[in-house]
Amino acid sequence: MKIAMLCAVLAAGSANAGPLMFEVASVKVATAGVNGVSGSCHGIDSVYGPSRQEGSPPLGRCVIRDARLSHLIGIAYGVTMQNLKTGPDWIQYGALRFDVEAKAEDPAHTTEKQLLTMLQNLLVERFQLKFHYENKEVAGFALVMGKDGSSKLQPSTSDEEKLSFFGPKGEPILKPGGGVPISIKARKCPISQLVSILTFIGTYGPGADKTGLTGEYDFTLAWDEENGPGLGAALRDQLGLRLEAQKVPVSTLVVDSAQKPSAN
């Protein structure tokens, strides 16, 4: 009986526990100018390679700079801008950006997932964020193995995940886009990330990974839609993968309402 009563008390305590919240958190309008969003949440299980160590937040903190609310939603809920629908321009397209600094109560025992949940709750609290998901199937593509059932990808030998983009003259660029010649140099890259890149830069719509490949890979992919090879041919010849037109499931986060936060 005593054991049963103890379990009931513990269960009641768990049920009454509030949402995961930061110990302290600051959300301020960014004043450094539009330099591009940066930052992340650093949990005990977060992985930071040598090139990211210097700019990583302290353990148990989320530090994000120059972010629109759409960027913050993307980071907190793990959605791409293509899978996000917002209302007023200030949320996704305007000049209003924010700096966020937040600290967990117990940094030494807080995971990245817990920090992201805290960030979600912070957005709900400070921005009065309300949203829902829409799920539907749309015309898109599936990334599949080559016709012989194999790819040309080799398992990664790199120490850290890294993506670099280059323009027509080999110059580094922030992100690919448009019809100009593009090349991607990827290190320790999962196929899901390649699908996300193809969804962002291609004209095929949203994508799904149906390769069955579960590892991480090093590769270079280069294409030129005007002079060749096009993206489809480059994937086939350089990586041994194919694009197939298919209906794919898409989950979109739809912002119902949000408010600009008060100064803090």
Alpha carbon 3 to chain centroid, angstroms: 44
pLDDT band (50, 70, 90) for residue 19? confident
Q: Give the pLDDT of residue 173.
A: 84
Cβ atoms of residues 67 and 76 within 8 Å: no
Measured CA to CA, the distance from residue 243 to residue 141 in angstroms comes to 6
* pLDDT, tens digit, 9 for 90 and up, residues 131-147: 999 999 999 999 999 98
Q: What is the pLDDT of residue 36?
A: 80
Tens digit of pLDDT for each residue in 190-200? Answer: 999 999 889 88
The pLDDT tens digits for 38-81 are: 999 999 998 776 555 556 899 999 999 999 999 999 999 999 88
The residue ranges of DSSP E strands in the chain, in sequence order, are: 24-29, 38-42, 61-67, 84-85, 98-103, 130-145, 154-155, 162-166, 172-173, 182-190, 207-209, 216-223, 241-257
The greatest distance separating any two alpha carbons of the chain, rounded to the nearest whole angstrom, comes to: 78
Tokens for 233?
């041919």
Domain boundaries, the chain: 19-127, 136-251
φ, ψ (nearest 5 deg) of residue 110: -105, 125
Q: What is the pLDDT of residue 2?
A: 45
Q: What's the predicted TM-score (pTM) here?
A: 0.75
Q: Within the chain, how many helices (H) and strands (E) appear?
A: 7, 13
